Chain A
Amino acid sequence: DIQMTQSPASLSASVGDRVTITCRASQSISSFLNWYQQKPGKAPKLLIYAASSFQSGVSSRFSGSGSGTDFTLTISSLQPEDFATYYCQQSYSVPYTFGQGTKLEIK
């Protein structure tokens, strides 16, 4: 199975900050990398697919980059509604594993 490792596990930031979350795959997954946002008690929400493609309706504050084994999710200017947990997921091969999550908290 492909292991997905996110860093950091948690992050404290302020409204207006620029933040970056990293996801590393245990082997090359080309660009088959997706990012989700999850708020407590809610289903995950797809933000970015194929490493850098914007999901319709998602704020342009969110952007993704990377290929191969190293990927990043950047939030350009944090808004109050962005405080949540973020997950990466590889969709290169089954099982479609997720990272362990990054909890973004208000400083």
Chain B
Amino acid sequence: QVQLVQSGTEVRKPGASVKVSCKASGYTFTDYYIHWVRQAPGQGLEWMGWINPNSGGTNYAQKFQGRVTMARDTSISTAFLELSRLTSDDTAVYYCARGNIVVVSTVLGFEYWGQGTLVTVSS
């Protein structure tokens, strides 16, 4: 069965960086896009960007440009999200989600999600 398992809770000080991992199993990792979505406490969902695990290509939301890096290690079927220059506004649960198959450009929703990683930014 398809599973996305994320790394654990992180606490960082303002100005620091954080790296969250998302390990995929149950399917061929390089066949499907991975998207990252975050949710601040009590707030809605915010799409951050995607990575194509096959090519390593990325597409980031403009809001995060210059501060976000999405990467993957195909040898361990794992995607990574790194966010730098953290502020208290970055306190949120960060989710990875599986998108569409990479050979198809149409995005039809995110069927599989990780369990979420809480990142707290506090001095």
Binding site for B on A (CB under 8 A): 1, 32, 34, 36, 38, 43-46, 48-50, 53, 55, 87, 89, 91, 94-101
Contacts and interface: CB of A to CB of B under 8 A. Distances in A.
A39 to B, nearest CB: 12
Contact of B45 (A44, A46, A50, A91): A44
Chain A contact residues, majority secondary structure: loop
B74 interface: no
Contacts of A48: 109
A29 B37 CA distance: 20
Contact of A34 (B37, B109, B115): B109
B32 interface: no
Given A95-B63, A98-B46, A44 B113 contact: yes
A50 B100 CA distance: 13
26 contacts: A36-B109, A43-B97, A43-B115, A44-B45, A44-B110, A44-B113, A46-B110, A46-B111, A48-B109, A49-B108, A87-B44, A91-B106, A91-B107, A91-B108, A91-B109, A94-B47, A94-B50, A95-B47, A95-B62, A95-B63, A97-B47, A98-B46, A98-B47, A99-B44, A101-B44, A101-B45
B108 A50 contact: yes
B61 interface: yes
A75 B39 CA distance: 25
A55 B113 contact: no
B72 interface: no
B53 interface: no
Contacts of B62: 1, 95
A49 B62 CA distance: 25
Contacts of A1: 62
Contacts of A43: 95, 97, 113-116
Contacts of B115: 43
A39 B50 CA distance: 24
